[in-house]
Amino acid sequence: MTFKDPPHSLDWQAALSAAKRITAAWDHPGEPGGAITLFDSQSIQGEACGGLANLTTGERFTIDNVVRYASVTKHIFAALALLRSGANLSLNDTLGQYLPMLKPPMSQVTLGRALDMTGGLPDVRETLSLLGISVYNVSEPAAIIEFLAQDGSLNFPAGTEISYSNTGYRLVETILQQQGILFADLLQRHIAEPLDIAFQAPESWFDVVPNLVPGYWQAQDGWKTACAGLHLSASGSLTGSLRSLSLWLQSLLANSGPGAGVLQQLSQPRSLQNGTATAYGLGITHSTLGQHQLLGHGGSHAGYKTYFLLHPELKVGVALVSNREDTASYTSLLTVMSALLATSLPARSTALTDGLYASTAEPYWLSINQGVATYLGASENLYQAEDGSAISLSAHLPMRLRMNGQAIEGEIGLAERYFTPVKANNCLAMIQGRWLHPESKAAFDIEGDKLLMGVGTQRASGTLTSLGQGHLLVKMPDGPWEKSFCLYFQGYNVRLISNRSRVLNFRREECRISW
């Protein structure tokens, strides 16, 4: 690879070496892989590839292999919906103005909050998973909208915290569709054709996409081909190669052509109702590396990982795609970008004591394990802050936590949280039997210390761990992942709580529970 003379502050060679170390870890016989590009606004300055694009054919992974970008789609959809659709959407409009089938409070969420992760909208995929619907089960778009319209509940009051959800993007796409405006058409007209790149927006996992490579996840007995049944939606439907993604990102950095004005629009500051600024824009995240301000976003589908980071001031960026589930995409690109900018990564933090913690009056839990915090089933690496706190670097799951005696206190999702070490109790005898969700006809059974969900050959078993005070933590398989959620018992009812879905209430009518 030949380098152009770079600005003095950029070290392309160090960044390429860092990228090659990452991709070399995928370069084992019979394993999937991925690729990383380094670029400025005019050209690709370096690339690193490793592993296989196809385990059946043995094809090596290159920057021209087509993958699923997953949630990297979000910033492209937001740009097209707001700047190119002609739909005259305002971020202050409510979802209910366009989708009258929605019930409050969901109908009262503004489009801005639906797109900036502060709307409290329950994530469709995670909600369906809590009902026992596997990642492999096919769900059609009309049925999904009907499902969302049944209740209208939110994970939290809109504007009071930030928490990731794909649902807002699905709903805004539905608004456009009802006006005869299709994301796939906008994509071709305003981005793919002008840049001569092969972006596609398939509706489902099973649509034929030219040159798409399989995604893979590793089971105990080897690598498996990944798939998913949920209708993709504009929250994560986009496919393309790393070369195509890099060309689009160069257009953003150059602020010209299809990318003109996009970063400025999507990265505008957003805030909670109380004025607290968030680091998530509209499909674009803000992050800090030393004195440098970066923009980016990641994507994760079963078997695929994607991420990009841009430095708009220096007009440089890095991007990664991978067809293996175990790729640490964000951490990898932070490493490459830190080498490019000759800026050290923040030190990892182990200031929090390992263990399992729970809130006293709320159905929330937190696990700490060797510098990794897992909140409601979602994990983030912890880093040292100047004030001694342990922080995450995530824009959609920001954490700032510290020990207070044996307790942990601080903020998660910009909302105040307080956790104490779990004091387990033996409540299983009081909750045995079947629990029903009448609206969806879903059910689960508690038999001994197991939770059983699903029917026939799809019946799955999860382990139960007491969190005390009527809370039980459930862990059970869901395709390539393990899902974690909390059972929060309140009288006749039990709420199912996970990071992206906190709205389901099951009940058992035949007996009353007291604590």
How confident is the prediction for the chain on average, in pLDDT?
95
φ, ψ dihedrals at 324, nearest 5°:
-135, 135
Instruction: Name the band, by pLDDT with cuts 50, 70 and 90, for residue 510.
Output: low
Q: Give the span between the Cα atoms of 475 and 482, in whole angstroms.
A: 7
Tokens of 436: 């029903």
Instruction: Name the band, by pLDDT with cuts 50, 70 and 90, for residue 431.
Output: very high
CA 58 to chain centre: 30
CA 54 to chain centre: 25
Instruction: Name the band, by pLDDT with cuts 50, 70 and 90, for residue 509.
Output: low
pLDDT tens-digit readout, 321-351: 999 999 999 999 999 999 999 999 999 999 9
Q: With the C-alpha atoms ordered 83, 249, 122, 423, is the resulting torsion angle positive or negative?
A: negative
Residue-level pLDDT at 7: 47
* 428: nearest Cα among 448, 452, 443: 448
Q: Say yes or no to pLDDT of 512 above 80.
A: no
pLDDT tens-digit readout, 7-54: 448 999 999 999 999 999 999 999 999 999 999 999 999 999 999 999
Instruction: Say which range, 66-70, 128-132, 291-295, 360-364, has the weakest mean pLDDT.
Output: 360-364
Q: Give the span between the Cα atoms of 268 and 116, in whole angstroms.
A: 11
Mean pLDDT of the 128-140 span: 94
H/E stretch holding 195 = helix 193-195
Mean pLDDT of the 99-126 span: 98
Q: Say yes or no to pLDDT of 458 above 90.
A: no
Q: Say yes or no to pLDDT of 275 above 80.
A: yes
Q: Which residues lie below 8 Å from residue 483, measured CB to CB, with a gap of 6+?
A: 126, 129, 130, 377, 475, 476, 477, 498
Instruction: Name the band, by pLDDT with cuts 50, 70 and 90, for residue 469.
Output: confident
156 exposure class (CB count in 10 Å sphere: 0-12, 13-18, 19+): middle
Q: CA 361, 365, 370 angle in degrees (round to 5)? A: 145
Q: Say yes or no to pLDDT of 4 above 70.
A: no
pLDDT tens-digit readout, 305-317: 999 999 999 999 9
Instruction: Name the band, by pLDDT with cuts 50, 70 and 90, for residue 1.
Output: very low
Q: Say yes or no to pLDDT of 2 above 60.
A: no
In Å, what is the CA distance from 77 to each residue of 50, 127, 247? 30, 23, 17
Mean pLDDT of the 438-466 span: 93
Residue-level pLDDT at 9: 80
pLDDT tens-digit readout, 212-251: 999 999 999 999 999 999 999 999 999 999 999 999 999 9
Q: Which residue has the tokens 């510290």?
A: 402
Residue-level pLDDT at 117: 98
Instruction: Name the band, by pLDDT with cuts 50, 70 and 90, for residue 508.
Output: confident
Report the half-sphere exposure of 110 (CA within 13 A, side-chain side): 15
Q: Give the span between the Cα atoms of 383 and 389, in whole angstroms.
A: 8
Is 515 within 8 Å of 141 (Cβ atoms)?
no
pTM for the predicted model, two decimal places: 0.95
Tokens of 95: 């979802």
Q: Give the span between the Cα atoms of 12 and 17, in whole angstroms.
A: 9
Residue by residue, DSSP assigns 133-144 as: --TTS-B-HHHH
pLDDT tens-digit readout, 372-424: 999 999 999 999 999 999 999 999 999 999 999 999 999 999 999 999 999 88
* 101: nearest Cα among 194, 8, 178, 160: 178
Residue-level pLDDT at 196: 98
Mean pLDDT of the 294-303 span: 98
Residue-level pLDDT at 479: 86
Residue-level pLDDT at 490: 86
